[in-house]
């Protein structure tokens, strides 16, 4: 009986620890997405202000953190319009 209790207790510990690890990973991913979004929004502002080279830098920063198709498309469109730095 004592052995069965120990096995169940260990199983519960693994489940709880596994959920904590997943929760931290999800939090980190959300944080990365937020930071990437902030860089993307800054790039859009810079592009609007015709500061194209700076905008490209912020697009790249955003893509380094979190690869997003919308950001990649905007980056490539601007790059094609002004050429490489």
Residue of higher predicted confidence among 18 and 54:
54
Averaged pLDDT for residues 58-73: 92
- CA distance linking residue 25 with residue 42, whole number of Å: 26
Taking 60 as the threshold, does the pLDDT of residue 74 lie above it?
Answer: yes
Residue 40's nearest CA partner among 9, 69, 81, 7 is 69
10 Å CB burial of residue 59 (0-12, 13-18, 19+) is buried
User: Structure pTM?
Assistant: 0.67
Taking 90 as the threshold, does the pLDDT of residue 63 lie above it?
Answer: yes
pLDDT in tens, 41-58: 999 999 999 999 999 999
């Amino acid at each position: 009986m004592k052995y069965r209790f120990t096995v169940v207790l260990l199983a519960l510990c693994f489940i709880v620890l596994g959920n904590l690890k997943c929760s931290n990973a999800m939090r980190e991913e959300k944080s990365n997405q937020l930071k990437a979004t902030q860089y993307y929004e800054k790039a859009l502002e810079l592009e609007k202000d015709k500061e194209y080279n700076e905008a490209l830098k912020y697009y790249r920063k955003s893509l380094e953190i979190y690869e997003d198709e919308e950001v990649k498309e905007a980056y490539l469109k601007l790059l094609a319009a002004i050429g490489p730095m």
